[in-house]
Structure 1
């Protein structure tokens, strides 16, 4: 056999080997969300993370996740989807967003919609609830209301790192003091009581009220609604979650909300014990 013929055979063999290796590489599922996958890349369970926000999501003394949003997803929506859901947390809000993939999560229990977040997560068409952005101030505070004309020049306002804030607050002249932690709102309320901030912002007035109720011997604290549109909140999903799963969630959500109100679930968790 001539040398040139041998070289051609060896070259053809190498090409076939390379082709097989390439095919194998593309057929191996990615590490993210590979565990718990059923046939046709459909997950057999969803892991959904949450941040502390009673009465929507919190942790019982036993360590079990609880709350109105937890009940809605785990107890009502998941059975209609046909996929069990594990709700895990609480995580600090900013870390929940930034370390989402590292925590091997498939979704976030409740999140408001922004253009930046739409690049990271799949938002369903329908929110499951809406919130009223609010401020908490001591009863003796000189801040008696928050209107379009309110100016907070130089006043320190405790906020949650990474949380959405209305433009009217951002342009009020307030000195924003972001807090990080599993319970940023509770920490901010302690700062308020201790005189380290003059107001506390939260995207949800109901969470502020519930956090205040859980502070032993708390001084009189007032909740001031912020004149901004109510904030729609969604359960969002990782981009890797199949579109069919998101569609099943949307269909189940519409079915559930046609028979029960989220407000009724919320009422069941007011003043519930929290760790």
Structure 2
């Protein structure tokens, strides 16, 4: 009976994966009580569906988190842009579990209402996440733009540069990143999002897994993400956290 009871306990013990994250609201928010945010919620929902427990590791600077995933020190990374180069190194969800609108954040009084041509960004200083990826229009203008990059605290650093006119604009793969910051600091009315060619398609981010992780475990999570995807609207989840940020700081 003792051996049988022990075997049952062992069989019911959930499988675990270690997932690294970096602070990037509203997708992932580092709090004193652990991570929170829209992408965090979706990971937890997928893990519950797969019967897997997540051990969260973070908050870790973006480039260091990427190296941890590549080396196999962690099994997954909360959100990552998918590129052909990265597909060689990592497993990705088939469809993006996280999506949203994109654009360049500028001050409300800027004369431009949208970015139409290369000339609109030529010579402009734009802040972004060092090591991140760029959409086709911005990648094509990479040499024309005076990029200001940051890694640690990249959101705060880039948004403060924008406030002090050290940069003309800021680019995040999701505009919701900047909107969360502006909501938190009650400055939404002072800024706007400029669309650029191709931005109407929006942006996607994927859940990523190390190729050194047990493939059966990865497949369970990939399947769970696919099954969970029809049951939520990611932009609404992100907006919920943006709204909460504004209300929280009013207290």
TM-score, length of structure 1 as denominator length: 0.75
Q: What is the DSSP-based 3-state SS (H/G/I as helix, E as strand, rest coil) of the residue aligned with 2:242?
A: coil
User: Structure 1, unaligned stretches of length 5 or more?
Assistant: 1-37
1:206 to 163, 172, 176: 176
Change (3 A) 1:196 1:92: same
Distance in 1, matches of 2:162 and 2:70, equals 34
Aligned partner of 2:155 in structure 1 is 185
Distance in 2, matches of 1:204 and 1:89, equals 21
Change (3 A) 1:143 1:179: farther
Q: What is the DSSP-based 3-state SS (H/G/I as helix, E as strand, rest coil) of the residue aligned with 1:51?
A: coil
Distance in 2, matches of 1:234 and 1:50, equals 13
2:38 to 68, 72, 92: 68
1:257 aligns with 2:229: yes
Q: What is the DSSP-based 3-state SS (H/G/I as helix, E as strand, rest coil) of the residue aligned with 2:231?
A: coil
Q: What is the DSSP-based 3-state SS (H/G/I as helix, E as strand, rest coil) of the residue aligned with 1:157?
A: strand
Q: After superposition, what is the alpha-carbon deviation per residue over 1:206-227, rounded to whole angstroms, capped at 9, x for unaligned? A: 1121121122567711111233
Q: Which has the higher helix share?
A: 2
User: How many residues are treated as equivalent by the alignment?
Assistant: 232
Decide whether the 8 Å contact of 1:148 with 1:168 is kept in 2: no
User: Structure 2, unaligned stretches of length 5 or more?
Assistant: 1-9
TM-score, length of structure 2 as denominator length: 0.82
Q: What is the DSSP-based 3-state SS (H/G/I as helix, E as strand, rest coil) of the residue aligned with 2:80?
A: strand
Aligned partner of 1:232 in structure 2 is 204
RMSD value, Cα: 2.6
| Superposed structure 1 runs of 4+ greater than 4 Å apart | 216-219
Per-residue deviation, 1:264: 4.2
Aligned partner of 2:7 in structure 1 is none
1:50 aligns with 2:35: no
Aligned partner of 2:5 in structure 1 is none
Alignment of 1:164-175 (within 5 A): 164-172=133-141, 173-175=144-146
Change (3 A) 1:209 1:219: same
